[in-house]
Each structure stands twice: as C-alpha cells, then as structure tokens.
Amino acid sequence: MNLIQGKSIPRCRRINRMLSNESLHPPAFSRSNSEASVDSASMEDFWREIESIKESSMGGQEEPPPAEVTPVDEGELEAEWLQDVGLSTLISGDEEEDGKALLSTLTRTQAAAVEKRYNTYTQTMRKKNKPSIRDVRDIFAVRESPPRDICDNHTNQLDGTKEERELPRVIKASGSMPDDASLNSTTLSDASQDKEGSFAVPRSDSVAILETIPDLPVHSNGSPELGQPVQNAVSDDDYLEKNIPPEAEELSFEVSYSEMVTEALKRNKLKKSEIKKEDYVLTKFIVQKTRFGLTEAGDLSAEDMKKIRHLSLIELTAFFDAFGIQLKRNKTEKVKGRDNGIFGVPLTVLLDSDRKKDPGVKVPLVLQKFFEKVEESGLESEGIFRLSGCTAKVKQYREELDAKFNADKFKWDKMCHREAAVMLKAFFRELPTSLFPVEYIPAFISLMERGPHVKVQFQALHLMVMALPDANRDTAEALMTFFSKVIANESKNRMSLWNISTVMAPNLFFSRSKHSDYEELLLANTAAHIIRLMLKYQKILWKVPSFLITQVRRMNEATMLLKKQLPSVRKLLRRRTLERETASPKTSKVLQKSPSARRMSDVPEGVIRVHAPLLSKVSMAIQLNNQTKAKDILAKFQYENSHGSSECIKIQNQRLYEIGGNIGEHCLDPDAYILDVYRINPQAEWVIKPQPSS
C-alpha cells in the first residue's frame, strides 16, 4: 500500500519538511478552507504511525508493490456504478421488478445522477461500435410539455398500448424551486390532499406508483397534529427550534440531502466553515424525532437494507454532482483475501465462520476479543494506540491466532493490552479492501476544498456509511463505540479524538495506488478528518435517513404491483384509493378478495392485532389513537404478563416490529406513534419479539 512505502528520507520528517515550506500552496484552493491547512504538528501521530507500520513489517510480511494508476475506461466505471446501485439490468437488458421499482422511486436529483451515468455508458459503447441494450429514452421518459409541479411523475395514460401498461419510471422535475416549495415526501407524489389530511382520488391525467401509499405529509414531516402545515424543508430557519440551544443545529432526516444542497447552491445560501483540529469547533447536531421515530440500520430487514445501500449510493453520487464533483474516479481496488486464518481474511469470510458458533454475530469475534483485552487494562494506558508493542510477541501471537483462534485454542490470558492494540490496527490494515471505500477520498478532498459547513460534510459521510456493506457498517459501528471508551479516558491515556483519528487513518483508509507526496498529504488529512467526524457524530451516524426509508416503502409497493402484472395499473390504483376510504358494502366485498385485506377486516379501523409468541399473553387487539406509541403497547403487554418476574424480564428485551406490507421487517423506535405507521402501512402485521443483539 502506498501509505507505507519507504523512501530514503523518513516519511514523518519528509512530510513535515514539506509542510514547513512556506512556498508550498495548494494550486486550486485556499489553505484556510482545506484540511491541508492543519499544521504539521497535528499530523505527527499519523506519520509516526506510518513509520511504525513500515519498520515493523508485521511479522516479516512483504508489502505488495504499489499499483500503477491506469487510465479508466469511463464506460467500465459507469457500468460498475450501475452494478453497485442495483441497476445492472440497464446493461444486461433483463427484465427485473426490483430495477424498475428502484427507477420509479427516484427523486429529481437521483434520477439526474442515474441518467448522467447511463448516458456516459451508452456514449462509450457507441464509440466502441457496441450498441447499448436499451435507449436512455426508454428508461427516462421525457415530457414535451413542462411539468406542472416541482417533482412531476411520468403520467402518460396507462390503458391500451404496451407503453401505457408499463409502470411509471422516474420522478423528474425541471426549473428552480419556488421559495415556498416543500421538499418533503408530498413532492414525490401527484395525489391531492384534502383539509383533513387524507388523499382524494388521483387526478385522471396523473398516475404513479407512489400514489399507492397513503402518504401523509404532516406525519412524514413529524408534525404532531393532522392540521399542522408542512414546513418549508429548504429554508435556513427550518432546522432551528426554540428548544434547541443556540450553539446547536438541527439535522433533518426527512428530506433528500442532494435536493437540499442543490437548492441551497442555487440560492447561494450554503454555509461555509473553516476546518480546524480542535474538537470544540465541531457543531453540535440535534436530530428531532418525527412521529415515526428514528431507525437504526440494524432495525430493518436484510433485503430492505440492501435497497437502502443502493439508494444511498445513488443519493451520494447526486450529492456530489450538486457540487460538480465526480464521486468515483477509479474502479474499486479488488484484492483476493485469504480463505482461512484471521489476518488478511475478508470480513464476510470471518463472519461466516463465526456464525457457526454464534448465528447472530455481526462483528468478527476476534475483533471483539481485541476490544475486550484493551478494555480490561489498557483504557488508562498512556498512548495506548501510539505504542508499537513487542515485535517478537506480536509476531508470535499473530501466528497462533491464525492457527488456533477458530478452534478456540488460543490462550488470551497471556496477551497484554499493548499487543492487542497493535494487532487490532493490523487487522484492519490487512483486510483485502479497506473498511471504508478509499476510492471516495478524492471526492471528499474536493468537497473539503470548498469549505462547506460541517452539516454538509456530515451528510456526505452519512450517505457513505449507509452505502457500506452490512459487515463493514456493523464493524465500523462497533469500532467507533470502542474508541469512544478510549477517548473517555483521555485525561489518563492522552488519546484525544484527533489523536485517535490520525493514528487510525492509515489503518482504516489505505490505497495500493501510487500518489505524490502532496496527494498523500491530502489523503492523510481528509481520512483523519472523516474518522473524527465519525467519532464525534456516532450517536446519529447509524440512523437511517427517513427519506430513504420512505423510498424503500415505495420500492416495495412498486415491486408488488409489478409482480401482479395487472393489465391496468390505473384501475388498480383507483381501487386501492377507494379501499382506503370509509368501507361501503361494495368496498367490503373488494377487501375480502385478498388475504392481506381479510386480515385488515378482522379488526375495526384504527385497531391492530399485536402478537407476542414468546409471552404468556400471546395476542392482543390494541385501539390506536394519535398518542399511542410503541412503548405504550409494550407496557400494556408487560402489565398483562406481569404475573411472574420472568415475564417482566422477557418484556424488557422485547421490541415492537412492523412486518410485511410495504416493508420487510422494521423494529420500531419505542417513541414511534403507531397510528402514523399504521396509516402508511395498513397491511403490516405487528409482532413483539426480542431485538437481535449485535
């Protein structure tokens, strides 16, 4: 890897000498707004770690030679991107419901990002005299007349012709956004709303998949009352409320980040800030819970999280497009890892092995043991992650771990916290691919050069984390939780947030490509800053943005419609709209036609049947009102099952789940208002069961 390639002058001294040269200035931006402006002393830990890595060579292993950066074929790069976001069918030409459903739920900026990549791909194929499988016009229908609303659905008639029978594709809009425009979920559908907040029959000339969800804008925006107006999601005042201290700033998870920055850039209202190494300068963020509560990444089913990853990568690409920055300039570095052992083994392989012992494990067991060893006696050890440990012992332990850990024969009691800390760093550094995508670092460097506000930096980081594979994200979360314990003992171990960030940067972000000294300096500073942001904002970093969950619900609805293969989507949508109104005798007959509708008819409107298979009281009908929260339902079950102490213990570890309908499985926030969830997913089943442990 390039960061630990040795040269005649020790790297630490060479970089510091370069930094002290007053004639050196970045060619395209001001040092005051760049991570490169951080003084050389603040990066000493980083370069000292590089020297330590180079000198130790970790058990005498030879470093692979740096990879040559070869010109990237744009078509190949975009083809890889389309594959990564779940749209490989645009290249293969295969018909797939999930791909169509994904396209049908894209926002304006997301659709533009996909169209841009597909256009580049088709143009490259044309130059090679290889016709693309599909014409871009078949994917992104272009209206001859301008759209009526901010985000217009594709609305050609759906009766009769083949084109009319196809489901609408991508939500698009043109023109600037008016000052009073709201970028909440209502801008993503064409249905009209009456004064009571319920949806009327869609306009006859406008039909979209999104209308199949009874979208309640006031609730998606978190308003406590049905009649409360929706906030303007892009004005500067929306993020601050009276109960937020003046030094804090509210983060909105309800609106697409790319839409927000696009509009802010248009209005020239994007805040800027200098990046400094002092921790106190980082803004304090407050995420106000909506009536749906907040959702952790682990609260959703694996299938829905896969869709979140695809949408997050599209959204991240659109986010950087707003700044004119290309997210990914090189193909992903792919290195085949080892099939067995501990070091140099892919996370997924380690987890597959560990799950034979513990089916619910999400973080490699060996990594958890490293955490435990440091926590036992090393949290107060000065410079715990700066120390290199005894090289001979580290080499011995590495060999024994590779040979004995999976057989549970390794003796952990003989390892001290210093060796555990050294091997923890080596574990991440020797992964076949870095824990975080190093190929995105150049884009983050370009973003930092523009000196955006910390909120913008967090939003980009948030999307990157959501786009990570499950194994990487879960491991990263465990790692940041562990480091928060280390930083909590800073007064004794002298490991501040910035110290941890600079020491871990070369271990968590590494590249096997060649870079100039100056490029490497920018990589170092940016990687350290990203880790610092992760550590600072880890309490909110793993929450899934609400706007992405809304899109997943719409994807699931669209997929169900596509699989039904009904001849007229319009007829279906009209029928479903009628089903949501007060049931008439005629409507009741319609409701009895499907199993899911029959489940809904078993109980009156506003009443849900909750199942708790592991408790003595296994089922209960719950009457919902505007104030019923998930924790209220749990409390009711606890009261009904409070005859024995064991039942009380059981209920304390239980959570309420929303299962089926337009979501796979959703572990609900205890503060979520269930009537709001019920309204957007009336076909869901409700189950109380234990929350999986990490």
Residue 273's pLDDT is what? 67
Residues in the chain: 694
| The pLDDT of residue 586 is above 50 | no
Residue-level pLDDT at 385: 92
Q: What is the pLDDT of residues 141-174, one digit of tens each?
A: 533 333 333 333 333 332 333 333 333 334 333 3
Total domains in the chain come to 1
Q: At 458, is the secondary structure helix, strand, or coil?
A: helix
> Looking at per-residue confidence, does 580 or 511 come out higher?
511
User: Mean pLDDT lowest for which of 119-123, 136-140, 231-235?
Assistant: 231-235
Q: Give 689's strand partners.
A: 655
User: What is each CA distance from 632 to 449, 639, 649, 672, in whole angstroms?
Assistant: 49, 10, 17, 10
Q: C-alpha angle 514/520/487, rounded to 5°?
A: 130
pLDDT tens digit sequence for 51-79: 666 666 544 554 544 444 455 677 888 99
Q: What is the mean pLDDT of residues 597-609?
A: 66
| Structure-model confidence comparison of residues 433 and 215, the more confident one | 433
pLDDT of residue 585 exceeding 70: no
Q: Listing from the earlier edge strand, what are the strands of the sheet with 654-660?
A: 619-623, 607-611, 685-690, 654-660, 663-667
Query: In which domain, by residue range, is 506 found?
Result: 332-542
For residue 332, pLDDT over 80 is answered with: no
- Note whether 535 and 480 are within 8 A (CB): yes
Helix (H, G, I), strand (E, B) or coil at 688: strand
Position 534 in a domain: yes
CB count in 10 Å sphere of residue 178: 9
Is 515 inside a domain boundary?
A: yes
The pLDDT confidence band at residue 400, using thresholds 50, 70 and 90, is: very high
pLDDT of residue 23: 30
Write the CB contacts of 27 (distance below 8 Å, at least 6 apart in sequence). Answer: none
Q: Supply the DSSP symbol for 268.
A: T
Residue that wins the pLDDT comparison between 438 and 183: 438
Domain presence at residue 245: no
Give the model's pLDDT for residue 519.
78
Spatial separation of the C-alpha atoms in residues 274 and 32, rounded to whole Å? 7
The answer, yes or no, to whether residue 601 has pLDDT greater than 90, is no
Residue 196 lies in a domain: no
In a domain, 314, yes or no: no
571 has a pLDDT exceeding 70: no
Percent of all residues in the chain with a pLDDT value above 70, rounded to a whole number: 63
**CB neighbours (10 Å) of residue 372?**
13
Average pLDDT value for residue range 20-30: 34
Residue type, 310: H
- Tell me the angle at which helices 391-404 and 417-429 cross, rounded to the nearest 10 degrees: 70
More confident residue, 33 or 163: 33
| Position 326 in a domain | no
Q: Poorest-confidence range of 27-41, 152-166, 461-475? A: 152-166
pLDDT for 416 equals 92
pLDDT for position 658 = 97
- pLDDT for residue 402 is more than 60: yes
The answer to whether 270 and 452 have CB atoms below 8 angstroms apart is yes
Average pLDDT, the chain: 74
Maximum C-alpha span of the chain: 87
**Is 524 a residue whose pLDDT tops 90?**
no
Confidence of residue 138 (pLDDT cuts 50, 70, 90): low
- 216/498: higher pLDDT: 498
Are the C-beta atoms of residues 132 and 125 closer than 8 Å to each other? yes
Please report, rounded to a whole number, the percentage of residues in the chain having pLDDT higher than 90. Answer: 44
- The pLDDT of residue 67 is 47
pLDDT at 132: 58
pLDDT digits (tens, 9 = 90+) for 510-520: 776 676 777 77
- Integer Cα distance of 557 and 100 in angstroms: 12
d(CA 72, CA 440): 15
Identify the residue with better confidence: 15 or 548.
548
Provide the β-strand partners of residue 619: 611
pLDDT for 180: 36
> Using the 8-state DSSP alphabet, how is residue 223 labeled?
-
Q: What is the spatial distance between Cα 479 and Cα 684, in angstroms, rounded to a whole number?
A: 35
* Assigned domain for 17 exists: no
DSSP for 539-577, please give it: HHHTBPPHHHHHHHHHHHHHHHHHHHT-S-HHHHHHHHH
Residue type, 639: Y
Q: Categorize the per-residue pLDDT at 33 as very low, low, confident or very high, splitting at 50, 70 and 90.
A: very low
Q: Considering the domain boundaries, does residue 478 fall inside one?
A: yes
Domain CATH number, residue 404: 1.10.555.10
Task: Tell me the DSSP string of 108-152.
Answer: HHHHHHHHHHHHHHHHHHHHTT---SS-HHHHS---SSPPSSSSB
